Amino acid sequence: MQTRALGTTGLRVSEIGLGAGPLGGSELDDRAAIELVHAALELGISLIDTAPSYGRSELRIGAALRGRRERVVLSTKLGYAVPGVPDWTGPCITAGIDLALDRMGTTWLDIAHLHSCPLDVLERGEVLDALEAAVRAGKVRAAAYSGDNRELAWAIDSGRFAVVQCSVNLADQRALDAAIPRAIERGVGVLAKRSLANAAWRDASQPGAPDRAEYWRRMREMNLPPHGEPAAHALGFVLAQSGISSALLGTTSLANLAAAVATGALDARSAQTARDAFRRCDRGWDGVI
């Protein structure tokens, strides 16, 4: 597994990261989730991205990393779900960091994102001040923003985030036009979320969840020529883009994880075909948060 520099943070991350969204749900029990994390480490994955909203994900990762913490760049998210504390306030960030440390049995977070934080909250500054205080206190190594569109642009231009996480996949390419080039210029590390477009090709008819439905609709409209195995095509597209340090892949399957690790970047011509198709079809196709 190749590693890439994460902007100017001094951290290096595997070019495929374990997106631990699906890791916390009922599809896996605790034991299977822990085995999946161990398998990811064995495959050379050194970045794990989670959030308090991903069910039991943080707890399971904490259990899996006992005695292995040093091997990973650990990333989570903040801004909500702190009992008795209003969301999107400074105290919610400060207490949220302590809760995450506790759940994952660690004394530091490598990357801590404001999780889809609204623009007005960013502008108010209170949550960012609290996040920066945690960096100074050594509890967080890299202050990060996770989200898309205007909020993403604001976060990059603010100069206050070392890392951003945004949607990049075959059906969601807006960030490649302006936000990611700007992040490169400013030395901000970029993590791609939803790298597989939520595997929208798997659904025979339009799925119910609005985000999956949007990707499903976009993929049909783009009508890309088939290019080998669909997951390898999707992931290879993200790996071929410059400025992205790691493509986060969500999976509950050991086989799918192993297949991802064996995937290489798409050739330049096929990547361009996908870029052209997106531009041809893009009618207000904002980044999906």
Ligand X SMILES: NC(=O)c1ccc[n+]([C@@H]2O[C@H](COP(=O)([O-])OP(=O)(O)OC[C@H]3O[C@@H](n4cnc5c(N)ncnc54)[C@H](OP(=O)(O)O)[C@@H]3O)[C@@H](O)[C@H]2O)c1
3 binds ligand X (CB under 6 A): no
What tokens were used for 24?
A: 């916390």
Among 11, 13, 16, 20, binds ligand X (CB under 6 A): 20
111 binds ligand X (CB under 6 A): no
Q: Considering the complex, state which of residue 138 and residue 205 has its C-beta at the smaller distance from ligand X.
A: 205
- Give me the least distance between CB of 233 and ligand X, in Å please: 10
Q: Considering the complex, state which of residue 22 and residue 96 has its C-beta at the smaller distance from ligand X.
A: 22
95 binds ligand X (CB under 6 A): no
253 binds ligand X (CB under 6 A): yes
x/- map, 257-286, ligand X, by CB under 6 A: --x---------------------------
- Give me the least distance between CB of 169 and ligand X, in Å please: 6
Among 193, 222, 241, 243, binds ligand X (CB under 6 A): 193
x/- map, 150-179, ligand X, by CB under 6 A: ---------------x--------------
User: Are 75 and 144 spatial neighbours (Cβ–Cβ below 8 Å)?
Assistant: yes
Enumerate the β-bridge partners of residue 146.
115, 165
x/- map, 130-149, ligand X, by CB under 6 A: ----------------x---
With the C-alpha atoms ordered 27, 32, 34, 40, is the resulting torsion angle positive or negative?
negative
252 binds ligand X (CB under 6 A): yes
Q: Which stretch binds ligand X (CB under 6 A): 78-86, 118-126, 246-254, 275-283?
A: 246-254
99 binds ligand X (CB under 6 A): no
User: Are 271 and 38 spatial neighbours (Cβ–Cβ below 8 Å)?
Assistant: no
- By CB under 6 A, what part of segment 68-87 binds ligand X? 77
User: Are 75 and 50 spatial neighbours (Cβ–Cβ below 8 Å)?
Assistant: yes
118 binds ligand X (CB under 6 A): no
196 binds ligand X (CB under 6 A): yes
198 binds ligand X (CB under 6 A): yes
What tokens were used for 273?
A: 């075909």
Among candidate residues 33, 41, 34, 51, the one with its CA nearest the CA of residue 17: 41
Among 4, 7, 11, 22, binds ligand X (CB under 6 A): 22
Strands 189-193 and 246-250: parallel
Cα–Cα dist 174/228, whole Å: 24
Residues that bind ligand X (CB under 6 A): 19-22, 49, 77, 115-116, 146, 165, 193-199, 202, 231, 248-253, 256, 259, 289
